[in-house]
Amino acid sequence: MLDKFFKKDNRKLTLADYKKIWTPFCFLDESGTLGVKDQPYFTVGMIKCSQPYFLQQKIRYIREKNNFWWEFKFNGLNQAKIKTVLEVLDILFNTRSIHFSSYTIDKRNDYFKKEFNNDSFVAYEQITKHLLEGNLRKNEVLIVLADNVVSPKRNRFELNVKNHINNKFKRLAVAGVCRLNSQTNDLLQLADLLIGSVNYELLLKEKIITTASKNKGKLVDKFKENLGVDTLTNDFRNYAFNIRYHKDDEKIECNDDLDNFPSQKKKAIDR
């Protein structure tokens, strides 16, 4: 009886098992595409949630209550926006089944120059693959929505990411990837606030930013308070948050024959 049960439980999922298959949305954003002097750190962050409806409805309520229709953007924080932004951060921590992951690399190190051709967009694509690989569960098919950052004309980010993950796991692991203008989606904007906080504290620590912003500081402090940490400049992980920094001896193993960067004459497969 038990053997029969476990045999059935371990079989490969099919479309008929739709009640066992989860389809989380992954909202991706990046920070640090400007020059190395002003922004030496590059961070990609992702909010993963199975039912975006619940968090988005809470954000919508806060927007309507405060008559707030600006974009949530870390670099645009000011006194008129900070109160609403802090409310949104609090509801993120009070919403179930929300997971945040980020990965940060120093653009000044040799790994970034050698493995990413000193190109932030190459890093964006490769780190995106790395984050998705680390956040995929066996019974999940991911739907990826990414901020539409400026990219090389011939680059095929959406196809490269989807094909890489599906081929690596030899199944339908990513249903699709779509890049959006972040102004159209609150969860992309929320991802921007989180990764902006991470990068901002790094810049403060190195004294690259000499005059701290009071309002940005309020967001960073609220973020740390909710996490229960004193700094965002160290690796951190709990049940819902995973903030990681690249180590000098760490390799991001995401290269395969489907990568289609302009400097690499490789052909991507359309599916």
The whole-angstrom separation of Cα 266 and Cα 264 is 6
pTM: 0.87
Q: Which CATH architecture has domain 22-245?
A: 2-Layer Sandwich (3.30)
Q: How is the chain split into domains, by residue range?
A: 22-245
- CA dihedral of 82, 87, 93, 94, whole degrees rounded to 10: 180
Q: In this predicted model, what pLDDT tens digit does every residue of 38-91 receive, in sequence order?
A: 889 999 999 999 999 999 999 999 999 999 999 999 999 999 999 999 999 999
8 A C-beta contact, residue 125 and residue 177: no
Q: In this predicted model, what pLDDT tens digit does every residue of 173-232 receive, in sequence order?
A: 999 999 999 999 999 999 999 999 999 999 999 999 989 999 999 999 999 999 999 999
- CA dihedral of 32, 242, 144, 114, whole degrees rounded to 10: 50
